[in-house]
Structure 1
């Protein structure tokens, strides 16, 4: 489908056709490991990347392919690679860019798991992350050095709901000749399309809003197709001969789709972070109602944030949709349809009050997830961000007196009543 269709149409139809074998209208779950080749020449052409098709479901699968095309279309990219989780997507995005001794400049305002992955796990590959406050543009620029290979941030940062100035960060990355990778999980393409703000790659935890019902884990890397991987010698995986494919040069051969083809032909082949077809099917069904759900998510979040901000038991609310937020004006530019449904609340009672609040809620679920149709809550300092020092927790927006709310699509008045009774217990 072309991009002349509206978002609501594309979220249902992009990438999908009636099944040619049966006429089935919903995308079938192709629960198969392998695919029969027409003949020996056909098999050789597939393995040489001379023909696009299906070889083995670690690499490609018809159900997953529909999801890849749909997400790429909604984000305004040329292609996408789906994988097993949002964390897998981050490694998949960095894999063709990095190497021993190379670094990524990343925002301090990020999901606790991302901070741990970047500060600890990627060291095992010989990679490094340099964490910077992305509101300090001069500091971001200063952190980039000759070994930097990417810049990474979130559109709406988890847990605080802070909005990143994507245009300004993209300009810095562009001047340095580097790709900007943006995690768009909390915003979704309905609220923001980072590629339109200069992002090179977009990553998602499809586990969250894209699926929207807490049933699967999945991830995606979307390729803008706009980056010149051959402009310098910084990205040899994409610009130089690939020994495993007889010296094929991905950028020279595949042009705008170089990153996407590398992600499948090398990334999924060797890392094996495959999304299973049943999870892809669930995510496709979730995306069909994405805009409807996000509209309710945002409306509920705004109503609850306003109520919480006025409550004397609350010290602060970080929702960028509030006029009092320092990110309010930026949110109007980056996410004009709304500032998402994720934010934090600081309680005057501190750490202990947060624990009591979490334990006293009835509708809100205490889980390590976000983006569900259900309203969710967590105390990051004792869970998702507990591996960090208190200083790091504060920098990430997850101080000990803070809880993170992911506002669902229930009746907003019921959610307010639930918070009211729980706050009464927590601050008694």
Structure 2
């Protein structure tokens, strides 16, 4: 949208400290020219590589150079992360794990009342926002969300269990797997951990329902996906496990561009569901065996 209809954008896709250094230098230059940016948009964590930028540093830069921070917490989910201490606006796809049953399309945008931009944003929303959410969809969404925390706990546990069992393949030179992406394994784990909610008697936060597997070749990735006995599709956070060849589906015409941002065309993204975790692991390992035959 910003590229097509706005002033353009700068994409710091890796979210590393080095890239934040470059971003800060850009802000300093812009400030010296009496310019400023519209906003920073980021995810907690990112899709599909599950990285989390240093949001505390971004917040400090926002305070210094006067711009709002918009954070999408869909993948982390409200159950696991709280980004209100760093975000002026929090956006979430309610279609995903909050709903869980994959039968409603909805989203939310929450204005932080402690933000210096709150009054400005509130006036803009009152002037232009129209609530187009269908009443029956709203009712279904509320009903589906009643067991959100129960489902979130299962999704957290299952994803972590699967990742811990797949992870050793990365260290095996004979394996078809070159990397596993998951917030707990990422170099940015500490950034994610700083956003995690405190544990309570009702819920212990975790690292979410999403992880990605990068294969050493397109053929092995294809064999894995073809033999993985789960549903295939682009959504995430559903009660059923969904697998997606991310770059092949989402960035088919932009593979070269994607590769410059760390997105290999051999990535298979997996959104775990509520199925038995042992059964899911068995399905994954059967698919791995098929992929190894290609090697």
Superposition TM-score, scaled by structure 2 size: 0.85
Structure 1 residues 423 and 264, CA, compared in 2 at 3 Å: closer, same or farther?
Answer: farther
Corresponding position of 1:333: 194
Gaps of 5+ in 1: 1-120, 230-255
Q: Is the 8 A contact 2:176 2:291 kept in 1?
A: no
Written as runs of structure 1 = structure 2, the 5 A alignment for 1:308-387 is 308-311=166-169, 312-322=175-185, 325-335=186-196, 337-348=205-216, 350-362=217-229, 364-387=230-253
CA RMSD of aligned residues (A): 1.9
The count of residues paired between Structure 1 and Structure 2 equals 272
Gaps of 5+ in 2: 170-174, 198-204
Corresponding position of 2:125: 263
**Aligned pair 1:140/2:5, yes or no?**
no
Which residue among 265, 286, 291 is the counterpart of 1:426?
Answer: 291
- Provide the secondary structure at the position in 2 that maps to 1:134: coil
Between the aligned partners of 1:202 and 1:191, the Cα distance in structure 2 is: 14
User: Post-superposition shift, 1:190?
Assistant: 1.1
**Aligned pair 1:122/2:2, yes or no?**
yes
Computing the radius of gyration from Cα coordinates, the structure with the larger value is: 1
**Aligned pair 1:289/2:147, yes or no?**
yes
Written as runs of structure 1 = structure 2, the 5 A alignment for 1:152-301 is 152-196=41-85, 198-229=86-117, 256=118, 258-268=120-130, 274-301=132-159
The 4+ residue runs of structure 1 with deviation greater than 6 A are none
Between the aligned partners of 2:151 and 2:234, the Cα distance in structure 1 is: 20
Superposition TM-score, scaled by structure 1 size: 0.60
**Any idea what the Cα deviations from partners look like across 1:162-215, whole Å, max 9, x if unmatched?**
12322121111121111100001101111111112x110001111111111111
Between the aligned partners of 1:261 and 1:290, the Cα distance in structure 2 is: 32
Q: Is the 8 A contact 1:156 1:340 kept in 2?
A: no
**Any idea what the Cα deviations from partners look like across 1:224-283, whole Å, max 9, x if unmatched?**
022224xxxxxxxxxxxxxxxxxxxxxxxxxx5552453243133xxxx72222222222
Between the aligned partners of 2:106 and 2:126, the Cα distance in structure 1 is: 16
Between the aligned partners of 2:156 and 2:280, the Cα distance in structure 1 is: 14
Answer with 185-194 or 131-140: which moved more: 131-140
Q: Is the 8 A contact 1:385 1:393 kept in 2?
A: no
